[in-house]
Amino acid sequence: MSLQMALLTLISSGGPRSGYDLNRDFEGILKFVWHAKPTQVYPELRRLAAEGLIREQAEGSRGRRPYEITEEGLRVLRDWLTTTSADHSQRNETVLRSFALWLVHPEEAQAFLREEMEYHRARLRGMRATKKGLDPGRPADRAALLGVEAGIRRLEAMVSWAEWAIDTVADWPADTGDALSGSGAG
Amino acid sequence: MSLQMALLTLISSGGPRSGYDLNRDFEGILKFVWHAKPTQVYPELRRLAAEGLIREQAEGSRGRRPYEITEEGLRVLRDWLTTTSADHSQRNETVLRSFALWLVHPEEAQAFLREEMEYHRARLRGMRATKKGLDPGRPADRAALLGVEAGIRRLEAMVSWAEWAIDTVADWPADTGDALSGSGAG
DNA sequence: AAGTGCATGTAACCGGTTACATGATTCT
DNA sequence: AGAATCATGTAACCGGTTACATGCACTT
């Protein structure tokens, strides 16, 4: 359901877009918002076209199939925004793993946290670069700036959390033997 | 895959737990980390037991089936933590929707953002209450505190973002007619 | 001419959701 | 006695991933 809305949002905001363009968006600006593999995107575009929510334009070079949104597609998008409420279910493997960190040696826990810190710092740099590429003069970009700002703030939260967590784990008492018996790096 | 690890983490950290207990955890402390419906949890527990990663204890009152983690389960959990890296793919419908907000009237955009702000504030209160219930003297709770702190920081980021976004939308130029033609509340 | 990146797809499988079903225990 | 909550499950379906397949265009 929401994949359709994600595709309609991208197509409506970024002008005519092909499956390839959309896949790049999922890897770029939408990385922390929505994701889908190419094998899911292409059939879904066909379905949206069959439902009349998007329209295929003339085939471009290299077999590109650019789509544009239809009036009906816009209507459906607006309807979704105004009459349904957002699903808040989430999955975050970084945080899931942190719940289990008492089972490994502090050095291993810190190694994990450092890796996560670096990852989120890198993504944060990417997000800030993306932000610079947006034009506040364009209505669609103004909305995109809202989304990008959310991404930046969430990434900043993760980076500062990881920094704090590394310090916190350093202060954990040794717990000689019990939780870590049988652990690899013993 | 990660559902198994989520279940092992909960069972290892919280003492013997039944499917019902675990479902409550998914609705509570793990709400923003991992989620699974009861219909997925019960068969998965049977599978974990068949694989020898958890062990069923004596059936309790009301048909409760409490499980405890086995040595093999602990080994698998530690192995997952130390030899594989975290999947960072995410989906966040709140932020996805914000990318499309230029398509609706500013009042509708703000109504959405206000709703999200309230939702995240409420969840933040819940997370802070959860934090108070944890005992830093217990190793498992110390790790849980890392996870809960991540949740709090992410929720704080979302609340402050929503506040900022409401103000930002208020300053958007009117864009008389173009993007909003055909929109419901015209 | 070979290698890389562009660009789209199919089929099989698995993870996850929805709808449905059952019965015991506690509370009012 | 009836309602609410505890507690576990099955079956069908759908959304999403993995593995595989194809061919063109641009660069070196």
Tokens of B75: 């080994």
Q: Identify the CATH number of the domain defined by range B2-81.
A: 1.10.10.10
pLDDT of residue A63: 87
Q: Contact B104/A140 with Cβ under 8 angstroms? A: no
CB-closest option in A9, A90, A156 to B96 = A9
Domain segments of chain B as ranges:
2-81, 93-170
Minimum Cα–Cα distance from B110: chain A residue: A82
Evaluate if residue A185 carries a pLDDT over 80: no
Residue type, A171: D
Work out the average pLDDT over B109-134: 97
Q: B146: number of CA atoms within 13 Å, CB side? A: 29
Nucleotides of strand D within 7 Å of the protein's CB atoms: 6-11, 15-20, 23-26
Distance CA A148, CA A11 (A): 17
**Closest alpha carbon to B69 in B129, B128, B146, B8:** B8
Work out the average pLDDT over B7-18: 96
Q: Contact A82/B104 with Cβ under 8 angstroms? A: yes
Q: What is the pLDDT of residues A7-61, one digit of tens each?
A: 999 999 988 999 999 999 999 999 999 999 999 999 999 999 999 999 999 888 8
Q: Contact A11/A65 with Cβ under 8 angstroms? A: no
Distance CA B9, CA A95 (A): 12
Q: Contact A83/A95 with Cβ under 8 angstroms? A: no
**B chain contacts of residue A72, beta-carbon cutoff 8 Å:** none
Residue A87, min C-alpha distance to chain B (Å): 6
CB-closest option in A82, A96, A156 to B9 = A96
Protein A15 CA to nucleic acid C13 C1', in Å?
35
pLDDT of residue A186: 38
Q: Which residues pair with A67 in a beta bridge?
A: A17, A56
Q: Identify the CATH number of the domain defined by range A2-82.
A: 1.10.10.10
Quick one: what percent of chain A has pLDDT higher than 90?
A: 88
